[in-house]
Amino acid sequence: MISNTITSKSWIRRHGAPLVAFALALTLSVSTVHANEDAHKVGVVSFGLFGDQGVFQSEAIGAAKVVADRFEVGPIEVRYNSKKGGSATAETLARSLQVAAGRLDAENDVLFLILTSHGSPDGLAIKAGRLVQTLTPSRLAEMLGKTGVRHKVVIISACYSGVFIPRLANPDVLVITAADADHPSFGCEDKAKWTYFGDAFFNVALRRAESLKDAFASARALVRRRELREHFEPSNPLMAGGENVQPLLVARP
């Protein structure tokens, strides 16, 4: 018995540390597999619609990059307009959504749409050189419905962007807007990299939040403090729908 005890202790001393290391590695490997299984692919379409101010181009590019850094990303398409023209039109948006949808699993992946522009109670302004259009809530709802992708996130950085919520938000479509339907948002300077909402949501909150819900709560508070500090009437960012979408979005650490 003594001999067996000594032999067992000797074996543990020789092999215990490697065995523990192997067990930890196996646990981490299994955890990683489970995390990958839980991470649904995200297809990103990001459009800067108003070409007369460079902030919308900068925000469309920056927002797509932040989303790509935080989630398991599939197809990404970024388009924007300038004072001379551009390809971020209503027709191109419809095609881009279809292309992205074709590269996603319609039931399990998430189509992530980012739109940044000036807005009005009628919808979003599109300005590409001499081309002028308005993207209405009904037109965008039609485009999204034709994609065939069940789960979608729509983030709109624009004045009065809350007008899109009644037409778009439902349990399968999460909608986040920079303002409610009755107020402007701020920060559309030509040389700026972000609008107030884009900076708070994408550039600050989403980089570190564990979920879109947490990112929105943090961004809303940041925007409110900034607006009050600068004596602006609050824009009241909104978040609606998406009960079936949020569990699918597993952010990278």
Tens of pLDDT, residues 73-123? 999 999 999 999 999 999 999 999 999 999 999 999 999 999 999 999 999
- Domain-embedded: residue 11: no
Q: Note the Cα 22 to chain centre separation in Å.
A: 37
pLDDT for res 2: 33
pLDDT along the chain (253 residues), means of 10: 36 41 37 47 97 97 97 95 96 98 97 98 97 98 98 98 98 98 94 96 96 97 98 98 94 83
- Domain-embedded: residue 90: yes
- Domain-embedded: residue 253: no
pLDDT for res 39: 58
- Domain-embedded: residue 31: no
- Domain-embedded: residue 9: no
Phi–psi pair at 154, nearest 5 degrees = -125, 120
pLDDT for res 16: 44
- Domain-embedded: residue 25: no
Here the contacts of 26-33 (C-beta below 8 Å, separation 24 or greater) are: none
Contact 75, 44 (CB under 8 A): yes
pLDDT for res 34: 40
Domain, as residue range, for 174: 43-248
How much is the pTM?
0.85
Alpha helices in 46-200 (DSSP H): 55-70, 90-102, 137-145, 165-168, 196-198
pLDDT for res 54: 96
pLDDT for res 25: 39
CATH number, position 83: 3.40.50.1460
Strand pairing partners for 221? none
pLDDT for res 219: 98
- Domain-embedded: residue 233: yes
Please give the tally of structural domains in the chain: 1
| C-alpha to C-alpha distance for 19 and 37, rounded to whole angstroms | 27
| C-alpha to C-alpha distance for 34 and 48, rounded to whole angstroms | 36
- Domain-embedded: residue 38: no
Q: Which two tokens stand for residue 96?
A: 């881009």
Q: Note the Cα 226 to chain centre separation in Å.
A: 22
